[in-house]
Structure 1
Amino acid sequence: MSDFNSERNRVVWVDVPVQDLDRALAFYRAVLANNATKQEYPGGEFGLLDHENGNGGCLVKNAGEASTTAGLLVYFNADGRIRDAVAQAEQLGAKIVEPVNSIGPHGYRAVLIDSEGNKIALHSNSDQ
Structure 2
Amino acid sequence: MALLKKIDENTNVVTWFEIPVNDLTRARKFYETILDIKMTLRADGNNEAAFFPFDPNVVQATSGRVTGVLSKSPDNTPSDHGTVVYINASPDLQTVLDRVAAAGGKVLSPKISIPAGFIAIITDSEGNRVGLHAEK
* Structure number with higher helix proportion: 1
What TM-score results when the alignment is normalised by the length of structure 2? 0.43
* Structure number with higher strand proportion: 1
What TM-score results when the alignment is normalised by the length of structure 1? 0.45
- For the pair shown, the structure with the greater C-alpha radius of gyration is 2
